[in-house]
Amino acid sequence: MKSKYLIGIITATVVIGGLVYLVQNSNKTPAPVSSGQDEAIAENPTYGHVHSVFRIPTDGTILMGAHAGLYKSTDDGKTFVRAQIKSGDPSVNPNGEFMNFAYDGVNKILYGGTHDSGLLKSTDLGQTWSRADDGIDGQDIHGLAINPLDTNRIYAYSVDKGLFGTQDGAKSWNKIDDGPKNPNVKGFAYMPTLTGMDRNMRREGSTNIGYLWAGNGAGLESSFACFCGWTLSQGIPKNTTVYALAADPLNKSTMLVAEKEGLYQTTDEAKMFTKVRSELKDVGALWFDIENPKTVFAATNNGVIYESPDSGVSWNKK
């Protein structure tokens, strides 16, 4: 049975990785948790918690960032082996963890936010990495998203330091604001749809439009592309922790969100969420495929990969 969350219209003025450990699904409203705090979760002995997943478009290798470090699979996600982060920069921790990935398909650059090495980039699809965070304060990047309409615009959330943005493809960064009201950020997603605020500001011909969504300990917060503040979504019950989110690249008002009660989808800019798979549990990361954007990958805390061929409607275990 499908369940729906209703949302009121976002009224306050308001750029894809995460972590989850889900409990038994039901159709009841999720029980609230303390504001800004995670539910008590157990760690998988191998991976700890899964934060991020990325499928390399050239050979299908899957990279998975986890609490225990970086893992990769060359057999379509059936098995994973431990991998090191290769870099010529001694400040990069080779055994570190990727909190999130973001891919610039125009310039073929893969970005990764790490737990203790700042923001990295790879021009060879994850084989080697270099620092790309000049101007970002802090080393712990929990939110990362690219504006798909202008891939030089990238947004990163540095824990306790705030939201930073670049307009030149990560050559330089500037602080935008302090970030979401709830600082317990799990991940970002950029939804490049024309909003009411964009119309009011006469941005119909601009590439700098849409919402930046943040999943955190309070649920979902959004900011318009003008970055005029953050608004808490009412589409998910208050104080529900959102652990992973991913914007649909084909349907600009659509997004997948993983929280305690399961995996949900919105098709109307987070006005309503519908549960899409009750039995899909423990989702820690979501990723829409580069080569076939209808394909979505979900990684659980046990390192199990699920694939959806239809934008998240149906799922199959790899």
For residue 259, name the pLDDT band (cuts at 50, 70, 90): confident
Q: State yes or no: pLDDT of 13 exceeds 60.
A: no
More confident residue, 303 or 99: 99
pLDDT in the model for residue 146:
98
Alpha carbons 100 and 121: distance in angstroms, whole number: 12
pLDDT of residue 301: 81
Tell me the average pLDDT across 259-285: 87
Ordered by where they begin, the domains of the chain are 4-317 (2.120.10.30)
Q: Residue 24 contacts by C-beta under 8 Å, 6 or more apart in sequence?
A: none
Q: Which of 10, 17, 33, 16 is nearest to 230 (CA)?
A: 10
* pLDDT given at position 239: 83
Edge-to-edge strand ranges of the sheet holding 231-232: 185-191, 211-216, 219-224, 231-232
Q: How confident is the model at residue 282 (pLDDT cuts 50, 70, 90)?
A: confident
Please give the model's pTM, rounded to 2 decimal places: 0.86
Q: What is residue 9's predicted lDDT score, i.e. its pLDDT?
A: 29
Lowest model confidence (mean pLDDT) among 29-43, 135-149, 277-291: 29-43
Give me the mean pLDDT over the 239-257 stretch. 94
Distance CA 97, CA 266 (A): 29
Give the pLDDT band of residue 17 (cuts 50, 70, 90). very low
Q: How confident is the model at residue 242 (pLDDT cuts 50, 70, 90)?
A: very high
What is the chain's mean pLDDT, rounded?
Answer: 86
Q: What is the per-residue pLDDT for 43?
A: 60
pLDDT higher at 37 or 13:
37
Name 191's bridge partners.
211
pLDDT, average across residues 223-242:
90
Q: CA 109, 283, 256 angle in degrees (round to 5)? A: 65
Instruction: Pick the range with the lowest mean pLDDT from 33-37, 46-50, 131-135, 228-232.
Output: 33-37
d(CA 183, CA 208): 24
Beta pairing partners, 212: 190, 223
Q: Using CA atoms, how far apart are residues 168 and 256, in angstroms rounded to an integer?
A: 28
pLDDT in tens, 58-113: 999 999 999 899 999 999 999 999 999 999 999 999 999 999 999 999 999 999 99
> Is residue 263 within 8 Å of residue 255, measured between CB atoms?
no
